[in-house]
Structure 1
Amino acid sequence: LLLSGGPAAVTLKAVGERMGVGHANLIHHFGSAAGLQGALMDRMVRDLADWIEAGLGAGRDDVEPDRLMTAVFDAFGQGGASQMAAWLALAREQARAESFAQVVRDLADRLAAMAPEDPRAAERAKALVVTAAYMAFAEGLIGDILTPMLGAPDGLGRDLALKLTATLLAEP
Structure 2
Amino acid sequence: MAKSEPAGDPPERVRRRKRLGDEAREEGLIAARRLLLDGGPAAVTLANVGREIGMSHANVLHHFGSAAGLQSALMGSMIRDLTAALDDAVAALSSDSAAPRALVNRVFDAFDQGGAGQLAAWIAMSRDFGHLEPIREAVRSLVVAFRDKFVDEDADARVRAAVLLIAVCAFGDAVIGPQLRDMLGQGDDELRTITAKLIPMFLISPF
TM-score by length of 2: 0.74
CA distance in 2, matches of 1:127, 1:3: 29
TM-score by length of 1: 0.88
- Residue 135 of structure 1 deviates from its aligned partner by 0.5
Tell me the amino acid that sits aligned with residue 119 of structure 1: E
Number of aligned residue pairs: 171
Give a deviation string over 1:122-157, Cα, whole Å, max 9, x none: 223311210110111111111110001011222111
Q: Cα distance 1:74–1:59, how it changes in 2: closer, same or farther (>3 A)?
A: closer
Task: Identify which range, 7-16 or 58-67, moves more after superposition.
Answer: 58-67
Q: Cα distance 1:150–1:50, how it changes in 2: closer, same or farther (>3 A)?
A: same
Task: Compute the RMSD of aligned alpha carbons.
Answer: 2.2
Question: Structure 2: 5+ residue runs without aligned partners?
Answer: 1-34
CA distance in 1, matches of 2:181, 2:92: 33
Residues 96 and 102 in structure 2, CA contact (< 8 A), matched pair in contact too: no
Q: Cα distance 1:102–1:60, how it changes in 2: closer, same or farther (>3 A)?
A: closer
Larger Rg: 2
Q: Cα distance 1:59–1:76, how it changes in 2: closer, same or farther (>3 A)?
A: closer
- Residue 4 of structure 1 deviates from its aligned partner by 0.4
Tell me the amino acid that sits aligned with residue 205 of structure 2: E
Tell me the amino acid that sits aligned with residue 122 of structure 1: D
Instruction: Identify the residue that residue 109 of structure 2 maps to in structure 1.
Output: 74
Tell me the amino acid that sits aligned with residue 168 of structure 2: Y
Q: Cα distance 1:100–1:88, how it changes in 2: closer, same or farther (>3 A)?
A: farther
Task: Identify which range, 106-115 or 36-45, moves more after superposition.
Answer: 106-115
Give a deviation string over 1:54-74, Cα, whole Å, max 9, x none: 344379367711110010111
Tell me the amino acid that sits aligned with residue 48 of structure 2: A
Identity %: 45
Instruction: Identify the residue that residue 40 of structure 2 maps to in structure 1.
Output: 6
Residues 93 and 145 in structure 2, CA contact (< 8 A), matched pair in contact too: no
Please say if 1:98 is aligned against 2:142.
no
Tell me the amino acid that sits aligned with residue 138 of structure 1: G
Residues 139 and 157 in structure 1, CA contact (< 8 A), matched pair in contact too: yes
Residues 51 and 71 in structure 1, CA contact (< 8 A), matched pair in contact too: yes
Among 30, 38, 43, the residue aligned to 2:64:
30
